[in-house]
Structure 1
């Protein structure tokens, strides 16, 4: 057999060594690799051409080296220089490192997907060979899957299970890929810089979203009206104005809200929390908008441009004038839902409601 490229040949003796040590070193896995790659085991005096399969090539060399190592000095560990993982086989270390490098040498010849491991490619190709065949249905929804592992990971959505734990904080994730992306936040690495400003991002998707600020692009369209949005999360929130959905329920009263931020603001009524402190006086507020309104008193000290047309009182802000005028009209816009009482001020209603809750 001629030899074109030395790196493409592996002596048959190495493959023979692999067969001899199958029982000792996870033999079935090695046997499967030999069958998958269709490598014949010839006599010990010849060489065999190995396909350009990086994972198998490393498997053969590392397994052969490991046999000698284990016989001479015992088990040797292969340490990843980018994280704390180590491996008993060099081939496994090489495969693992692709998580850090992003290398995906196994390209599907039927679509654009590529994979870090050959086994993942083989699993993926079943999608093409069994188009429409999805024998694994979910018993909680109408989805079905071509492989059992996809069904199992899908079911985590229903159970809320998050099996992937960050070892630097208490966050957990449904998908391992999400965990890997999250861990970048601990390293502080931000490899995706914006070419229009000095911001940089840990993930490409965040950079793409940010760039909409510079381009003015609003790719997310509401199909119920003509509004458009830069971010999908803003579109999702907007949809609730059409559907009336209010998924954020207060656990202290019967109010519900379309946005989580609004719920948080509302809950300060119950807790009494006032995180927005005025730096000119000792007043504090539950909402930032209230603080901004209040600070106008300090920036326009003494100025009261809002005059009541029923009496001689004047006010620094229009909202105070409107509230004052209710005294003249007798209007009481704050109605108790538990009885027929009504109040001029919201603060008076809140105090009154304590009677009902004890």
Structure 2
């Protein structure tokens, strides 16, 4: 039995290790030393080779393990690896049965019990138990992505992400759920999925009652409490708590819609939106309201609907006193304060504060009016406009003012009317001090500054800034009395 004393540059192993059954196969011409020196990092070996043996990295050979399909760049790394096949584990943790072949592995393990995190990021306050975790985290600041896919142009900040991605090319899904037919390309995805069967949520937030099946989801959730938003958009000033939200946002700039429906021509920038859309084909509505007969395709739509029963409005604007039932409504409202218009038309220079406004506008270029009234010849570019129009036939006015007896066919008309009671004029002209209760009046007013007169009389040369003025003018030609 041979006894070899192993030394490391940064750590000294306190016990000799028996390596009786270890056989090291080396390329011809490589001398085996009785007392080899071991190093903790690749850079230490390169420096040692240059100073002691005059070997540059170009002269290095590849050393292959005889028991596993692993290639290593240095003889010392090969020896270190092969010792793990048949070797004692002299470093044992006193509180558990676990044992380790290397001292630094024991040290790392002990930190899981002590909670020690000696490695701190110099750019933020985060701390880590291992230096490798710190280095991986620092890539979120530098944007470094050293791991590139050989089959496409995608880069990754971590090797495990690359390995996981490569399975999208091969279609390999070796991890299958024993309780259903689903299979996964990565083991962690299988473990996560299995918790949907057991309902297990072992990771609980210390600041609220929410619990999660995955630690990663808990970490993401905790950023809601800390307000941390480390992911920055390079094209605008927006920041995000999660990288996936940043990527989804960036598609508003690129117009990329990689998720296409297999049953129709619609494409989406977000995978979740595609899944929700697909339910329109299947008719699936798994979320039912207990207070009425309505059912919904999405859980958050049910939650929003339930607030129509309770009257709850949990989302308040920080710049004014307005409250909203939905977070999306709050975000849309806040753009009236910031003036932000992130949705741009690709065919003209117009910008919009909301995506549905952009979609509606784009139909002015195509002339598309797919929604036709069944009682008259009118057609509309949006279904909401058709629904509003149909109320002119039925006489339905479901929206009533709480301060007077007036009723309206549309909620927006009620809101505009209510401003006559409150005196609110949220639409202000940027070129003078005038303000208006509705956006249409502001747009008409702005034409007095630009001199724009788009409404021209077909019988004479006169032009007008407002449509109703043109209509009144035409009566002078026709002799019609209003």
* Higher RCO structure (Cα 8 Å, ≥6 apart): 1
Q: Which has the higher helix share?
A: 1
Shorter-chain TM band: 0.3 to 0.5
TM-score, normalization: structure 1?
Answer: 0.48
